[in-house]
Chains A and B, each alone.
Chain A
């Protein structure tokens, strides 16, 4: 089945540093969504992207929809301790068995004060 691969798998950074992570797919996606999940909580939607090449910001977060439509990128500027969590990319895909919704493997972010 479809798989969304995220890299890096984990990151340990100093407070104030910028963070970059990406998500790649073996097939084309028409929508990319980025979520953050904290321990014991449900994923929280951060940014939604709907058009190839689109660059969208939400505060210190910026995400881009890759031109090939097979990847997406998330950047966090000037990280703070509350950025800690697991970041997931996600998106819908039409398969021969119908619509599916896929989540990436996740990038775990640790911010060291």
Chain B
């Protein structure tokens, strides 16, 4: 158990809908990272927050947004969902301020868009 929690574990929704994925980092970790893992794309870095502020941005679509709250939990919002958004979404956390730190991953949320 990495200490990172994600909810829900599974999510099934229809195209055009909006969903929110939630992540709680390990105790003491200030950085949260979001990743998308699909069969044909591997693990893709989406975005990083550190202590409530956006720190780094990867290949995140404009339809996706994230935020980190004062209690350090983070939410990833996916809107106008398309079939291609079906994937595993992972959250990771680290104590480091930059992106070079060791990241610990949650169990993931499996999103299925029908």
The chain A residues found within 8 Å of chain B, CB to CB, are: 1, 30-31, 33, 35, 40-45, 48, 88, 90-92, 97-106
Q: Indicate if B43 sits at the interface (CB-CB under 8 A).
A: yes
Interface residues on B, range: 20 to 34
Q: Which of B43, B45, B90, B107 has the most CB of A within 10 A?
A: B43
Chain A interface, DSSP helix/strand/loop, else mixed: strand
Supposing A99-B55, A100-B45, A101-B45 touch, asked if A45 and B103 sit within 8 A by C-beta, the answer is yes
Contacts of A45 in B (CB 8 A): 102-105
Contacts of B44 in A (CB 8 A): 103
Expressed in whole angstroms, the Cα–Cα distance for A44 and B90 within the complex equals 12
Q: Indicate if B2 sits at the interface (CB-CB under 8 A).
A: yes
What's the least CB distance linking A23 to chain B, in Å?
Answer: 13
Q: Indicate if B108 sits at the interface (CB-CB under 8 A).
A: yes
Q: From B104, which residue of chain A is reached at the shortest CB distance? A: A45
Expressed in whole angstroms, the Cα–Cα distance for A57 and B62 within the complex equals 41
Which single member of A33, A99, A104, A106 contacts B102 (CB below 8 Å)? A33
| Cβ contact within 8 Å between B43 and A99 | no
Which single member of B99, B106, B108 contacts A100 (CB below 8 Å)? B99
Q: Which of A43, A88, A98 has the most CB of B within 10 A?
A: A43
Q: From A101, which residue of chain B is reached at the shortest CB distance? A: B45
| Cβ contact within 8 Å between B108 and A41 | yes
Q: From B57, which residue of chain A is reached at the shortest CB distance? A: A98
| Cβ contact within 8 Å between A48 and B45 | no
